[in-house]
Chain A
Amino acid sequence: MYFAGVDIGSITAKAVVLDNDTILSTSLARTGHDSRNAGRMVLEEALGEAGISEEDLAKVIATGYGRLNVDFTDEKVTEITCHARGAHFSLPDVRTVIDLGGQDSKGIAIGDNGKVIDFVMNDKCAAGTGRFLEVMAAALQVDLGDLGSISRESKDPAPISSVCTVFAESEVISRVAEGVLKTDIIAGIHKAIASRIFAMISRIPVNEKIVMTGGVARNSGVVDALEERFKTRIIVPGMPQHMGSLGAAIIARERSNET
């Protein structure tokens, strides 16, 4: 039997198709202004890659901020529950999930069964999210995908005191004007994010085995800074951005088996 999960995030939409325990296919696209269409597109792409049609799916679950807008899924589950389940499926020993997505940052404590015990989310503030890094990359005129490797060249990370996206951008521009190296500014930004996330996640039980999901997990500089701050290894799964859609597909399978 086939199951699918569709995660419609603020920046990207993702889909995963499962054949029982095996991931058959994945897809990813920019969400853009039409989240419903983006969700439909990634599902169709993943189905095409898997070589099956929508009628072959026993159940589809939507997650992510755009989950409520779609009409082609059977159920909707929050991204918090889905990221927990996806992370647990990929790394069963892990008990803490740090999910840094496009506009949300979350900490999730999970139990032995992969279900959520506790969670914490950022408020409206975009600090520590993908959007924050996009703004910083634009201010420094570097590609978003290069932030991680550039920061690893830093010998002396610049102190970035503000974690507010708007204020941090001004601070970064000031550092540029002061002649601080780009590598040090970027490393400083990553350390600021790590401090912010550490403070937020301290509100929930944190286990040493931490997994990081969401698009920001692809930034090795943020992962390094988080490891330094948490004093433990941060595990990044093979497809960090797909953990939500994977979790949704797993829940679809579970619920299908229940009925």
Chain B
Amino acid sequence: MKTGVPGKMCDTLSTLFDMRQDPYSGARSLHAAGRSILGYSCSYVPEELIYAAGVVPVRILGDNKQRVAWGGHLQNYCCSLSRSTLDMALNKEFDFVDGFVFGHTCDTMQRLSDILRINAGFEFHADLVAPSRLNGEAAFGYMLEELGEFRSKLEARYGPISDERIVESMAVYHENRKLVRKLYELKKRSPGKITSTDLIWAATAGYLMDRAGHTRLLRALLDELESLSVTPEPGDEKIPLFGIGSVMDQWEFLDMMETAGGTFINDDFCNGGRYAEDFVPGPDEPMAALARSLMGRASCPCKHGGDRSTALIDKVKYSGAAGVVFFLLKYCDPHSFEYPHLKYLLGELGVPSILVEIEHGAVSMESMRTRIEALLETIKGLKQAR
């Protein structure tokens, strides 16, 4: 079988491909069926607690429509993810959510929370201020207190949340992340069985639907892919790359990269490989376990604690990637600040890298193609020289 055809390798990928055409359709259907839904902004929002309240947490991604309504509220130097999120909210495109939950990450997301709360008029709004430093007992105590307040807020709106429900919900999410990890392991083992586009979208889809339903989908996908027999045709092998960035929601870019001859063997996108890196704490009280789980996961550059750069470089090394693509949202300060240091560390390792910056709604695929093709040519040249 020929490798690398997005959305075509098996039935479950076809189902996922169809979902991608209208990412929030699943959430709308759940809403129509009577489920409560909360939109949220980033990895540090405890999906598990929202889910334990009987509510479906749906992560808001950007879209590529030309948008203008944000202009009255946000500065031009805010990232396009914040712009499109606000724009969609102002345009009443989130009519399936009761409200929003914001995690305390970058400056833009902190301010977007207030701007959206004041201007979009949702009935529920919460800010969960995760500590800036994610290690140490002081940070743990702070996180526990914040989670407690958030739990109270959820209970005031949706009714009591039992400890048992929290334990069950955490189990659902740990299981789901385990399966996303398995999918990434399969990609590393048999890169031709799933494209980067399908891999990252398969992980991302969980953000947009009931998580238990997503787990069933992942099981079916893993079963189908494991049973596939794929023998890459000569010249069909793709160069393994590693992606670094916040949210990867540019599927056309990933398709272009695959066509050019590269594939993400692993990544640090918060809706992909980073999400899969779970932390399952030892036995503890449910809320304490949730706090430790949130703090123990792979961190994003908005947070201190641990050694993100060392962990990330180790992850690149272990992945076997021949090159790295920094795929950053333009004006994303946290990722831009760490980029020069990470690029330097990769240079020390002899791993070539490129920077691709995008803005939702203004993606120039041709200039990105040149960068990707030049990276692949550089990798081939280095290989020949060795």
Answer yes or no: B227 CB below 8 A from chain A CBs.
no
Q: Is the pair B374, A81 in contact by a Cβ cutoff of 8 Å?
A: yes
Answer yes or no: A77 CB below 8 A from chain B CBs.
yes
Answer yes or no: B364 CB below 8 A from chain A CBs.
yes
* Given A65-B370, A111-B385, A121-B370; A80-B347 close (CB under 8 Å): no
Q: Is the pair A118, B357 in contact by a Cβ cutoff of 8 Å?
A: no
CB distance from B371 to the nearest CB of A (A): 6
User: Interface centre among A78, A113, A120, A205, by most B CB within 10 Å?
Assistant: A78
Mark out the residues of chain A between 119 and 162 whose CB falls within 8 Å of any chain B CB in the assembled complex.
Answer: 119-121, 123-124
Instruction: Give every chain B residue within 8 A of A79 (Cβ-Cβ).
Output: 370
Q: Is the pair B347, A78 in contact by a Cβ cutoff of 8 Å?
A: no
Q: Is the pair A116, B340 in contact by a Cβ cutoff of 8 Å?
A: no
Q: Is the pair A118, B377 in contact by a Cβ cutoff of 8 Å?
A: no
Instruction: Give every chain B residue within 8 A of A123 (Cβ-Cβ).
Output: 330, 357
CB distance from B344 to the nearest CB of A (A): 9
Write the chain A residue with the least CB distance to B362. Answer: A124
Q: Is the pair B355, A117 in contact by a Cβ cutoff of 8 Å?
A: no
Mark out the residues of chain A between 17 and 65 whose CB falls within 8 Å of any chain B CB in the assembled complex.
Answer: 65
Q: Is the pair B352, A78 in contact by a Cβ cutoff of 8 Å?
A: no
* Given A78-B370, A113-B385, A203-B343; A124-B378 close (CB under 8 Å): no
* Given A65-B370, A123-B330, A203-B340; A77-B377 close (CB under 8 Å): yes
Q: Is the pair B381, A116 in contact by a Cβ cutoff of 8 Å?
A: yes
Q: Is the pair A120, B370 in contact by a Cβ cutoff of 8 Å?
A: no
Interface size class of A (residues with CB under 8 A): 20 to 34
CB distance from A66 to the nearest CB of B (A): 10
Mark out the residues of chain B between 224 and 240 whose CB falls within 8 Å of any chain A CB in the assembled complex.
Answer: none
Q: Is the pair B382, A117 in contact by a Cβ cutoff of 8 Å?
A: yes
Answer yes or no: B366 CB below 8 A from chain A CBs.
yes
Q: Is the pair B357, A78 in contact by a Cβ cutoff of 8 Å?
A: no
Q: Is the pair A121, B371 in contact by a Cβ cutoff of 8 Å?
A: yes
Q: Is the pair A117, B352 in contact by a Cβ cutoff of 8 Å?
A: yes
Mark out the residues of chain B between 359 and 386 whose CB falls within 8 Å of any chain A CB in the assembled complex.
Answer: 362, 364, 366-367, 369-371, 373-374, 377-378, 381-382, 384-385
Instruction: Give every chain A residue within 8 A of B354 (Cβ-Cβ).
Output: 119
CB distance from B383 to the nearest CB of A (A): 10
CA distance A104 to B374 in the complex (A): 14
Instruction: Give every chain A residue within 8 A of B343 (Cβ-Cβ).
Output: 203
* Given A78-B373, A81-B374, A123-B330; A118-B347 close (CB under 8 Å): yes
CA distance A215 to B373 in the complex (A): 23
Answer yes or no: A196 CB below 8 A from chain B CBs.
no
CA distance A68 to B374 in the complex (A): 14
Q: Is the pair A78, B374 in contact by a Cβ cutoff of 8 Å?
A: yes
Write the chain B residue with the least CB distance to A122. Answer: B367
Answer yes or no: A115 CB below 8 A from chain B CBs.
yes
Mark out the residues of chain B between 335 and 356 whose CB falls within 8 Å of any chain A CB in the assembled complex.
Answer: 340, 343, 347, 352, 354-355
Query: How many residue-residue contacts, CB under 8 A, span A and B?
Result: 55
CA distance A118 to B371 in the complex (A): 11
Q: Is the pair B364, A124 in contact by a Cβ cutoff of 8 Å?
A: yes
Q: Is the pair A80, B377 in contact by a Cβ cutoff of 8 Å?
A: yes
CB distance from A258 to the nearest CB of B (A): 10
Q: Is the pair B347, A205 in contact by a Cβ cutoff of 8 Å?
A: yes
Instruction: Give every chain A residue within 8 A of B366 (Cβ-Cβ).
Output: 65, 68
Q: Is the pair A115, B378 in contact by a Cβ cutoff of 8 Å?
A: yes
What is the 8 Å Cβ interface bit string for chain B, positions 247-261, against chain A (1 contact, 0 not)?
A: 000000000000000
Instruction: Give every chain B residue within 8 A of A68 (Cβ-Cβ).
Output: 366, 369
Write the chain B residue with the least CB distance to A85. Answer: B381
Interchain CB contact (< 8 A) of A81 among B340, B357, B367, B378: B378
* Given A123-B330, A124-B367; A117-B378 close (CB under 8 Å): yes
Q: Is the pair A119, B374 in contact by a Cβ cutoff of 8 Å?
A: yes
Write the chain A residue with the least CB distance to B346. Answer: A118
Q: Is the pair A115, B373 in contact by a Cβ cutoff of 8 Å?
A: no
CB distance from A131 to the nearest CB of B (A): 14
Instruction: Give every chain B residue within 8 A of A116 (Cβ-Cβ).
Output: 374, 377-378, 381
Instruction: Give every chain B residue within 8 A of A120 (Cβ-Cβ).
Output: 355
User: Interface centre among B366, B377, B384, B385, by most A CB within 10 Å?
Assistant: B377
Interchain CB contact (< 8 A) of B381 among A65, A115, A124, A203: A115
Write the chain B residue with the least CB distance to A110. Answer: B381
* Given A113-B385, A117-B352, A203-B343; A80-B364 close (CB under 8 Å): no
CB distance from B49 to the nearest CB of A (A): 39
Instruction: Give every chain B residue within 8 A of A81 (Cβ-Cβ).
Output: 374, 377-378, 381
Instruction: Give every chain B residue within 8 A of A115 (Cβ-Cβ).
Output: 378, 381-382, 384-385
Mark out the residues of chain A between 74 and 117 whose CB falls within 8 Å of any chain B CB in the assembled complex.
Answer: 77-81, 104, 111, 113, 115-117
Instruction: Give every chain B residue within 8 A of A80 (Cβ-Cβ).
Output: 370, 374, 377-378
CA distance A77 to B377 in the complex (A): 8
Instruction: Give every chain A residue within 8 A of B369 (Cβ-Cβ).
Output: 68
Interchain CB contact (< 8 A) of B377 among A65, A78, A104: A78
Write the chain B residue with the least CB distance to A66. Answer: B366
16 contacts between A and B (CB under 8 A): A68-B366, A77-B377, A78-B370, A80-B370, A80-B374, A81-B374, A81-B381, A104-B367, A111-B385, A113-B381, A115-B382, A115-B385, A120-B355, A121-B367, A124-B362, A205-B347
Q: Which 5 A-B pairs give the minimum distances between C-beta atoms? A: A115-B381, A80-B374, A78-B374, A116-B378, A81-B377
20 additional contacts, CB 8 Å, given A113-B381, A116-B377? A68-B366, A68-B369, A77-B373, A79-B370, A80-B370, A80-B374, A80-B377, A80-B378, A81-B381, A104-B367, A111-B381, A115-B381, A115-B384, A116-B378, A118-B352, A118-B378, A121-B367, A123-B330, A124-B362, A124-B364
